[in-house]
Amino acid sequence: MLGAMAKAKAKQRSERREEALSRERIVEAAIEILDAQGEAGLTFRALATRLATGPGALYWHISNKEELLVAACDVVVANTLPEISARATPRKALHGIALGVFEMLDAHPWLGAELVRNPSPTAMLQIFERIGRQVQALKVPERAQFTAATVLGSYIISESRQNAANGRLYNPSPDRTEFLEQLAAQWQALDPDAFPFTRNAAKQLREHDDRAEFLAGVDLILAGIGASVGGARHD
């Protein structure tokens, strides 16, 4: 009897195109909310409303919010990373991975925040492996591969996250130019005795291009890796 009623309800749902609740659907809806409203917008109440149910129902499928966020990270990373196309050389491949992560976090600013606050082992592993394979292809001595991949991963993720936090400013917008101009002015107004370096660096800020600067950082690390290989070039 109960079975029949459950079936009836399921049928009713599918007729209305309201699929049954599932972990996948919940995570999917969470990602949509995160992308649209940011981290502050993701509450169990908002999520339940969107899924036309009560907040308690979600807990049948997901233990808590932390697990929900980790699952959201895993899905986005698993969907986005394979889209990064193959390249002819390890160096170009690493540029591709770096830009891929950069754009991924730019498109999902909450992802960068979550990736450093509470890194999903699964998501981090995907990125680490991708980077590591190219490090291997660069013929880095085995002993030095772990360090090389860690430094690259650390820089790529933290700098991409920072860029995303600056507000989806991948394409130089007037806002961003204005912001950099203001920052440069602030730096130039610093006490020359206390902040000689920063004050001087203000010049570079005025011709700053987030994306180019990011890749210059990657290249600097690649130069360091190259030095350990013996100065050989790998373009």
- Given the rule CB under 8 A, which residues bind a second copy? 113, 116-117, 125, 128-129, 132-133, 135-136, 142-151, 154-155, 157-159, 161-162, 194-198, 200-201, 204-205, 208, 213, 216-217, 220-228, 231
CA distance 105 to 157: 8
By beta-carbon proximity to a second copy, the closer residue of 167 and 224 is 224
Total residues interacting with DNA, rule: CB under 7 A: 23
Cβ 117 to DNA shortest distance, Å: 14
Cβ 158 to a second copy shortest distance, Å: 4
Residue 189 contact among a second copy, DNA, none, beta carbon within 5 to 8 Å by kind: none
Residue numbers at the binding site for DNA (CB under 7 A): 2, 5-6, 9, 20-21, 42-46, 52-57, 59-61, 64-66
